[in-house]
Structure 1
């Protein structure tokens, strides 16, 4: 019996081994749902967000304020400033929704760090709360604001469609931020509470949109995605300002989902500023002390 394989067979086996060993490229999605309470999310019919939780790790009590600084208001400006930069409001200096003297030149949007480490990476921001695009976003190859005088529900439809369009091209995003605003709009109009039908309906509509975006990601079979989901605040009654001592406002949530994510529920306290360092760490971006990030990478294997 011949003890040696034919050369052609050896070459074929080696080629097959190399193809199977080829690593998938890494990509990230920061998914923001404005004004979404976790207790309402779990009451609503949300199969797509449920799937993200089941394929990752989550906290129902991610804090929107840190231990060092708690003077900013518990509203969208400071919240999205902190989520997108990984630093608290005493650094990025957005204390409310007026953006008087922001310091995003010193503490920039996380796309800046992606581009610094990966100059050819494609960065995409799709939002419909306009101050994010006007003040916070930087280093974006594509920056879209879908709020054009319509309701946030319609703007969310347009945002999801734009995200799917970006994911349908060969040169898709390496890092994408998608913001959906209608849950907050429903809370202000009808109440931030799991017993409010309109609030629940908004969450369920957003979940449907998220499902369509996830389906587009799943078609990109040569890529491995990490998806981080969070909100800028909760809500109480029909508002969320001055919520420094109100857990219904002070608590957001954090989901870290994907093959690289741990499974289960966070045992430690996590914060909304943890989103950025988690995304950067997954992409292989080396975080420098000079950036002064307040968050830490969490939930990665």
Structure 2
């Protein structure tokens, strides 16, 4: 389970822990430790400014800066992300390249599946509290063996930060990270049971940190808000890769490359050198 396989990548799975920043390293995360033992990880990745979920998840899924995708604007105005936007998400790019592709997004923060991801025919979208997402993902995986792209967002860590404070001094916040780690372990177990774990590119990251200027908030350009954890494992991953300057946006470039699709030339996202064979 910890070794990088020689198999080709058949799908990309992005697991997002909202609001965890780099504080993952301060919490007990045994499942992440096992999953990423044969992969690569960094606690020096950077998110986008302002370090809020709409801007950050939008840049992760669209590969461009917030002022270009404007997901946060669509969320604030309670409108769907436009299907004809000049900043398409990785879901729309995959659908246009392979019309029969199977894709899904399971999130706790519902605006992601409306204001950040376009309405795409045949795409599975599911929004529910964290504890309901994991079993729903298991059901979906068992009935969709042709899956090519899955995005998951867990929200309870960010909620704990807002309620109890972000950072290493907040016991409730760290416990929330450990619960999210267990949920990721349950998702990985489901992937293993359906035979999808070893031939998937699995990316685990967070959108922002917190406690930079306000113990109970985020959004600033302070390092505690802007610095994030990012890790991945899967076929062709170089465990010795150095990831200087990695941006949350680069997740989109990694996903497209792993799916065999070209990275748009006008993207702000770049493929990290030496990450994938």
Q: Identify the TM-score tier after normalising by the shorter chain.
A: 0.7 to 0.9
- Taking the TM superposition and a 5 Å limit, the aligned residue runs for 1:45-56 are 45-56=28-39
Does the Cα contact within 8 Å between 2:63 and 2:269 map onto a contact in 1? yes
Whole-angstrom distance in 2 between the partners of 1:144 and 1:95: 20
Q: How many residues align structurally?
A: 261
SS of the equivalent of 1:133 reads helix
Which of 124, 132, 154 is the matching residue for 1:142?
A: 124
Alignment of 1:157-168 (within 5 A): 157-168=131-142
Q: Establish whether residue 88 from structure 1 lines up as the match of residue 70 from structure 2.
A: no
Of 190-199 and 43-52, deviating more is 43-52
| Distance in 2 separating the partners of 1:288 and 1:88 | 14
Residue of structure 1 in register with 2:25 after alignment: 42
Change (3 A) 1:145 1:108: same
- Given candidates 256, 266, 277, the residue that maps to 1:280 is 256
Once residues 82 and 242 of structure 2 are traced to their aligned partners in structure 1, the CA distance between those partners, rounded to angstroms, is 31
Q: Deviations over 1:21-76 (max 9, x none)?
A: x96561110111100022x21222211111233221112121112xxxx5xx2211
The separation in 2 between residues aligned to 1:88 and 1:266, in whole angstroms, is 23
Task: Write the distance in 1 (CA, Å) between the matches of 2:51 and 2:59.
Answer: 11
- Residue 214 of structure 2 is aligned to residue 239 of structure 1: no
Deviation of 1:185 (Å): 0.3
For structure 2, list consecutive stretches of 5 or more residues without a partner in the other structure. Answer: 1-5
- Assess if the C-alpha contact under 8 Å between 1:37 and 1:248 holds in 2: yes
Unaligned runs of 5+ residues in structure 1 are: 1-21, 147-154
Instruction: Verify the 8 A CA contact 1:91 1:103 in the aligned structure 2.
Output: no
Paired with 1:300 and 1:23, the residues of 2 have a C-alpha distance of 13
Choose which of 167, 171, 196 in structure 2 pairs with 1:197. Answer: 171
In 2, the alpha carbon distance for the partners of 1:85 and 1:267 equals 20
- TM-superposed CA distance for 1:162, in Å, is 1.3
DSSP 3-state at the match of 1:233: coil
1:185 aligns with 2:159: yes
Distance (whole Å) between structure 2 residues aligned to residue 192 and residue 260 of structure 1: 35
Q: Which has the higher contact order (CA 8 A, sep 6+)?
A: 2
Cα separation, 2, equivalents of 1:286 and 1:83: 16
Asked if structure 2 preserves the Cα contact closer than 8 Å seen for 1:37 and 1:192, the reply is no
For residues 93-132 of structure 1, the aligned pairs below 5 Å read 93-94=70-71, 98-99=76-77, 105-132=85-112
**Equivalence for 1:13:** none
Aligned 8 A contact 1:82 1:92 in 2: yes
Q: State the match for 2:189 in structure 1.
A: 215
Q: Is the 8 A contact 2:9 2:201 kept in 1?
A: no
**Contact 2:168/2:174, CA 8 A, preserved across alignment:** yes
Among 224, 227, 233, the residue aligned to 1:257: 233
